[in-house]
Amino acid sequence: MSLVEIRWHGRGGQGAVTASEITAIAAIDQGKYAQAFPSFGVERRGAPVEAFTRIDDKPIYIRTKVYEPDIIVVLDPTLLGPEIARGLKENGLAVVNTDKSPEEVKKLLGRDDIKVAIVDATKIALETLKRPIVNTAILGAFVKASGLVDLDHVLKAVKSKVPPRTVEANLEAVRRAYEEVVIA
Amino acid sequence: MVKMVRKALTTNYAVAHAAKDSDVDVIAAYPITPSTPAAEKLAEYVANGELDAEYVHVESEHSAASALVGASAVGARAFTVTASQGLIYMSEVLYIASGLRLPIVLGVASRALSAPLSIWGDMHDIAPLRDAGLIIYFVSSAQEAYDSVIQAFKVAEDPRVHLPAIVDYDGFIMSHVTEPVDVIDREDVLKYIPKKVTWNTLNPKQPISIGTVGDPDYYYEFKYQQQVAMENAVKVAEEADKEFEKMFGRGYGLIEEYRMDDAEVAMIAYGAHAGTARVAVDKAREEGIKVGLIKLRLWRPFPTEHLMKALENVSVVGVLDRAMALGAPRQGPVVKDVISMYASDPSKAPKVASYALAIGQRDVKIEDLVAVAKQLDEFAKGKEIPNKTICIGLRE
């Protein structure tokens, strides 16, 4: 496998940065090389945020921002628009939290040359965590759709990063999204 | 066989982990972005009992450095982390720590200096420490940061050296990036850096004074001894790196050469951008440009002989500097060292092109550095090098 770059889109408080880290932790745990980092700036609850993950079989030397991601992951449906698909490679993948159809998502992103994976992560988060914190649910969809990291390693990484009393609910959110994601 | 555990750590956390594994006795720290997570992690280690150390809560960086001078002067292994204004505020005391020959180690998450206010990374904070009498490592990965903190104690505490040391890493683009780090058991780390007080300490049973007046009859000799210690530190740092490699399987050298064997032109880079430059060298090579990279790891003392040897067959070298040197003939701390290496015999010198980049964390793309490689190639073929610094990514 060669370098894969992932860009995460969410709003402050939804856990996009944590999701980017969990992915890197899982990849590293699996013996791969990875980087995870937030978009460095001022963080505010509710404001759009970006985070990034790089994964490779070889050591990663590059230290630039991510300009042409292979994958984007969208935690907040209200962010859907052509702007968040900027730079996404042809045949790239968009993993999206939405109750809309794959066709509608592609239209909103303004791209028909990409794959989309959709899951209603908000619904899953509300049913498992009882709160609209969607990062672990979208991770389940990301794992299934990307095939980059193994579910077991992601579950282990989730356990290490979420508050102890929410572990079971978060693991359930990952598993449910893993099952429910639709790839088109 | 030495036991290693692979962890996913930011460079901030890797540095804190290394201090823990070095079994530091005293930490005095004052939080400042982007080094704060390292200070917090150290406090957590002390609070949860993973590290048996005194954590001194101070009211400023000046006090943090002062507390460490006191701690080191009674024989404690002393450590702190800081950045930016915090490092500058410490600097008055850091000159003193060096003059007192105290082997304090600091992690610095380099950040821009005000004004205008910038919390983002560049190397304006570390640049003025150039002449302060501290050993300065530039590191390019969280792993190298972890390993270098441990090596820094080895070098700083060596009786041939006895100087404070800084391990400098990029604010945000390293300090906040999670990546793999193989950490070593404390027991094995302490075989490499045994807790042994090799420097003169304050002891009520055998009273001495330190930090007294150095009148015109003595001051000069004290400063000269610091310079001798710096000169010794080149060899000591090299030995420390080799011994580390022997014990733990990872070595870096004082400079790291990449694709330099047949290189006609070269870039010198340090910190995070040395990584991006490595990728750029590969891309430029694909386009037929015979470019190599030298990653500068030890800035103070400057590895003059190592660099001169590495540049022997190169006709043009481009130095990628990360701080401005306002009013100087060239903008950057390292380029001036590179030029002055050849002062006594300019006939040995390659042509030197000076570049400034990543100021205030302006992002540097691979293409930017491929363009530098191409430009160096043009300079080698006779194009005139501007008699000033070339600013990459600047809107003029």
B367 part of contact set with chain A, CB < 8 Å: no
**CA gap B2, B10 in Å, rounded:** 23
Q: CA of B179, closest CA in chain A: separation in Å? A: 5
Residue B337 in any domain: the answer is: yes
Yes or no: say if A71 and A114 are a contact pair by the CB < 8 Å rule: no
Are B218 and B322 contained in the same domain?
no
Dump pLDDT digits (tens) for B284-294. 999 999 999 99
CATH number, domain at B300?
3.40.50.920
Are B201 and B278 contained in the same domain?
no
Q: Which two tokens stand for residue B325?
A: 């040197």
Residue B396 in any domain: the answer is: no
Q: Give the per-residue pLDDT at A42.
A: 67
Residue B355 in any domain: the answer is: yes
Residue B31 in any domain: the answer is: yes
Q: CA of A91, closest CA in chain B: separation in Å? A: 23
B9 part of contact set with chain A, CB < 8 Å: no
Strand partners, B242: none
Helix (H) or strand (E) holding B182: strand B179-184
B173 part of contact set with chain A, CB < 8 Å: yes
Nearest CB to B275 within list A36, A61, A67: A61
Are B327 and B208 contained in the same domain?
no
Mean pLDDT of A88-95: 98
Dump pLDDT digits (tens) for B328-339. 999 999 999 999
Q: CA of B387, closest CA in chain A: separation in Å? A: 29
Q: CA of A32, closest CA in chain B: separation in Å? A: 9
Nearest to B271 by CA among B359, B151, B197, B205: B359
Mean pLDDT of B30-54: 98
- Flag whether pLDDT at A89 surpasses 80: yes
**How sure is the predictor about B2, in pLDDT bands with cuts at 50, 70 and 90?**
confident
**CA gap B41, B21 in Å, rounded:** 13
Dump pLDDT digits (tens) for B219-252. 999 999 999 999 999 999 999 999 999 999 999 9
Cβ contact, residue pair A36, B273, below 8 Å: no
Whole-angstrom CA distances from B154 to B37, B160, B225, B248 are 25, 11, 19, 14
Are B195 and B320 contained in the same domain?
no
Helix (H) or strand (E) holding B385: none
Nearest to B258 by CA among B243, B273, B277, B239: B277
Q: Which residue of B has its CA nearest to A157?
A: B8
Nearest CB to A63 within list B7, B180, B273: B273
Nearest to B181 by CA among B135, B149, B220: B149
Terminal CA-CA length for chain B: 56
Q: Give the per-residue pLDDT at A44.
A: 74
Are B128 and B266 contained in the same domain?
no
Q: How many domains does chain B have?
A: 2
B35 part of contact set with chain A, CB < 8 Å: no
Are B216 and B264 contained in the same domain?
no
Are B217 and B73 contained in the same domain?
yes
How high does pLDDT run on average in chain A? 96
Residue B281 in any domain: the answer is: yes
Q: CA of B10, closest CA in chain A: separation in Å? A: 9
**Chain A residues within an 8 Å CB radius of B361:** 40
Cβ contact, residue pair A24, B363, below 8 Å: no
Yes or no: say if A137 and A121 are a contact pair by the CB < 8 Å rule: yes
The contacts of residue A57 (CB under 8 Å, 6+ apart) are: A1, A2, A32, A33
Are B303 and B225 contained in the same domain?
no
Spell out the alpha helix ranges (H) of chain B.
11-21, 36-47, 61-73, 84-99, 142-156, 186-192, 219-248, 273-286, 304-310, 333-340, 366-380
CATH number, domain at B17?
3.40.50.970
Nearest CB to B180 within list A34, A37, A40: A34
Nearest CB to B366 within list A36, A40, A64: A64
Are B162 and B302 contained in the same domain?
no
How high does pLDDT run on average in chain B? 97
Question: What are the structural domains of chain A?
Answer: 4-183 (3.40.920.10)
- Of B248, B276, B291, the last residue of a domain is B248
* Percent over 70 (pLDDT), chain B: 100
Q: Give the per-residue pLDDT at A47.
A: 86
**CA gap B178, B99 in Å, rounded:** 37
Are B145 and B194 contained in the same domain?
yes
- Of B226, B248, B270, the last residue of a domain is B248
Domain that holds residue B77: 4-248
Residue B275 in any domain: the answer is: yes
Interface residues on A facing B, Cβ-Cβ cutoff 8 A: 21, 24-25, 28-29, 33-38, 40, 60-65, 67
The three-state secondary structure class of B60 is coil
- Of B248, B280, B295, the last residue of a domain is B248
Torsion of CA B226, B231, B232, B233, to 10 degrees: 90
Residue in A33, A35, A56, A64 to test binding to B, most B beta-carbons within 10 Å: A64
Q: Give the per-residue pLDDT at A13.
A: 87
